[in-house]
Amino acid sequence: MIIVHGGAGDWKQDKLAAALPEVEKAATIGFQILRNGGSCLDAAEACTLHMEECGKLNAGVGARSNLDGVQELDAMIVDGVNLKSGSVMAVTGVRHPISLARFAMEKTPHSQFAGEGVKKLYERMLAEGYRKETSPGVTSSPFHSQGGDTVGCVAVDVHAHIAATSSTGGIPDKMAGRVGDSPIFGAGAYADDTCGATATGWGEHIIRVLLCKTVVSYVDDGLDPQAAASRGIDLLKSKTGSQAGVVVADSAGRYGLAMNTKAMPTVVICGKSASFRRFTSTADLQA
């Protein structure tokens, strides 16, 4: 199974219409890998990489800029099998921070990178041939979406292993150097061996309730993923008054999503039959 979102926010209709096909494509790319027996990490990275590459979402190429006009990107990948994660924070000049986050997780003894060292890490990743650039490591592009939000996914592979990702240009009007929830383990994404979650919304507030870890704990304690997602958003709202969205999937093949924003383009593909569902708002959940 893969559940993928393109960000929770106050989406304008035209932006939503442009974003949804990219979220669908990302989900299809990830699901194809899972279907062929690939790992949840491979699926989650490839899925997220498409959303970073498409230019229609607030990640990678399409990321919104900070107040200084610079795209500073945050991304994280979580491996639920061993509770490992890799994060990169406020990265510039990198097209696919999700791959760099995975490199950090798999090829270094550390989990979080920021500052000048991220550039060195990026150089090392290329030098070791871990990932290649499709074009020189530039994240500026003609496509500035400015209308979407963080992207992320939770992938569950044939071994029932779970990976979760998040990747973002951050909130509007962010100051230079600001880092949100997206690369923070337990806040922007989290997974263990039974459940995974990834969040989107106002990072300063998502961090306050460690939204993804909280939602996964609800599932670990016996709630079904849909109830857990809704309860997580209720908690965020009651504790902070803020807005967010969260998507969840567990190793039993169940999923859930919740938001208290206008929309959150979300696609789920699951099972042998590749059953496909698309959601844009809470109303779709009731349909």
| Catalytic machinery residues | 150
> Is the torsion defined by CA of 209, 212, 213, 219 positive or negative?
positive
Q: For residues 227 and 57, give the distance between their C-alpha atoms in angstroms, rounded to a whole number.
A: 27
Strand partners, 249: 196, 255
Contact residue for ligand ASP among 167, 182, 214, 280 (CB under 6 A): 182
First CA to last CA distance, the chain: 21
Q: Determine contact, residues 155/44, Cβ cutoff 8 Å.
A: yes
Residue 171 Cβ, how far from ligand ASP at the closest point, in Å?
Answer: 5
In the complex, what is the shortest distance from the CB of residue 189 to ligand ASP, in angstroms, rounded to a whole number?
10
* 240 vs 251 by CB, closer to ligand ASP: 240
Closest CA to 265 of 142, 143, 150: 150
Nearest 5°: phi and psi at 66?
A: -80, -175
Rank residues 170 and 186 by Cβ distance to ligand ASP and give the closer one: 170
Q: How far is the CB of 76 from ligand ASP (least distance, A)?
A: 11
In the chain, the amino acid numbered 112 is Q
Check binding of 6 to ligand ASP (CB under 6 A).
Answer: no
- By C-beta, is 40 or 57 nearer to ligand ASP? 57
Region of residue 46 (phi > 0: left; psi between -120 and 50: alpha; otherwise: beta) = alpha
Binding of ligand ASP by 232 (CB under 6 A)? no
Contact flag: residue 180 with ligand ASP (CB under 6 A) = yes
Q: How long, in residues, is the chain?
A: 287
**Radius of gyration over every alpha carbon of the chain, rounded to an integer in angstroms:** 17
Least separation in angstroms between residue 27's CB and ligand ASP is 18
- Residue 242 found at the interface with ligand ASP (CB under 6 A): no
**Smallest gap from residue 174 Cβ to ligand ASP (A):** 7
Q: Which is nearer to ligand ASP, 40 or 89 (CB)?
A: 89
Q: Looking at beta carbons only, is 8 or 228 nearer to ligand ASP?
A: 8
Helix (H, G, I), strand (E, B) or coil at 191: strand
Residue 39 is a binding residue for ligand ASP (CB under 6 A):
no
Q: Is 60 in the site for ligand ASP (CB under 6 A)?
A: no
In the bound state with ligand ASP, the residue whose beta carbon lies nearer, of 157 and 181, is 181
Q: Is 7 in the site for ligand ASP (CB under 6 A)?
A: yes
Reduced to 3 states, what is the DSSP secondary structure of residue 64? coil
Q: Name 136's Cβ contacts closer than 8 Å, sequence gap at least 6.
A: none
Question: Interaction with ligand ASP in 118-177: which residues (CB under 6 A)?
Answer: 149-150, 168, 170-171
H helical segments located in 94-188: 97-107, 116-127
Q: Of 198-217, which residues contact ligand ASP (CB under 6 A)?
A: 200-203
Q: Which residues bind to ligand ASP, rule: CB under 6 A? A: 7, 149-150, 168, 170-171, 180-182, 200-203
